[in-house]
Amino acid sequence: GESVGLHLPTLSVQEGDNSIINCAYSNSASDYFIWYKQESGKGPQFIIDIRSNMDKRQGQRVTVLLNKTVKHLSLQIAATQPGDSAVYFCAENIGGNQFYFGTGTSLTVIP
Amino acid sequence: DAGVTQSPTHLIKTRGQQVTLRCSPKSGHDTVSWYQQALGQGPQFIFQYYEEEERQRGNFPDRFSGHQFPNYSSELNVNALLLGDSALYLCASSLASGNEQFFGPGTRLTVL
């Protein structure tokens, strides 16, 4: 079946540094991806999305890169802040707004 | 503009009981999806409702059922609760014509 996985379960970065969180997906038919941030005790928060006809999309301090050749996504966070500490999930949509989530990467920002 | 809301926030039940969780979608959204998130795991898709009908379903038993009302709000029902049903239950809303999906804060269900 389809699966979404993350290469690194945990990531620690110094405040002010850039963070890169990676995600591998297995379904080549997936045409839409979302990165979510989930803080403890809260629901996932939409960060940024990208469609399969794009390679890169930028938001405020965040950039998502999509490499369809190797079925890989990454989320880059610039100038990481303590408030960025959370678990990050990538989710893939293979159709009908049904999303598959990976297990997540826990990001810790060291002040 | 209200986001996705869910009730109750927390719930404690015993094995064999039944539970109903509620969700109101983001204003303007017509599609509601339910997810189960076990501790330390990513959300797992349960099912999706659109136009008051179940449109898609994940790999969950028939003990999990739902409903969508004309105002687009939704309920998730779980019968014959098992210990393994303890989890955070998340509701997400979207537009049938779009992809962006926004989550509510979730309901924490504990089965004893």
Q: Give the tens place of pLDDT for each residue, B16-68.
A: 999 999 999 999 999 999 999 998 889 999 999 999 999 999 999 999 999 99
Question: Tens of pLDDT along chain A (111 residues)?
Answer: 334 554 448 999 999 999 999 999 878 889 999 999 999 889 999 999 999 999 999 999 999 999 999 999 999 999 999 999 999 999 998 777 789 998 899 999 999
**Cβ-proximal residues to A65 (8 Å cutoff; 6+ apart), any chain:** A55, A56, A73, A74, A76
Going by C-alpha positions, the residue among A97, A1, A82, A95 that lies closest to residue B29 is A97
Pair type for strands A56-58 and A62-67: antiparallel
Distance of CA B95 to the CA centre of its chain: 16
Provide the chain A residues 41-100 that lie in CB contact (below 8 A) with chain B: 42-46, 49, 51, 89, 91, 93, 96-100
Say yes or no: B107 contacts chain A, CB-CB below 8 A: no
Distance, in Å, from the CA atom of B106 to the CA atom of A36, rounded to the nearest integer, reads: 15
- The pLDDT assigned to B25 comes to 96
B4: chain A residues, CB-CB within 8 Å: 43
Q: Would the CB atoms of A42 and B106 count as touching at under 8 Å?
A: yes
For residue A32, give the nearest of B4, B99, B102 by CB distance: B99
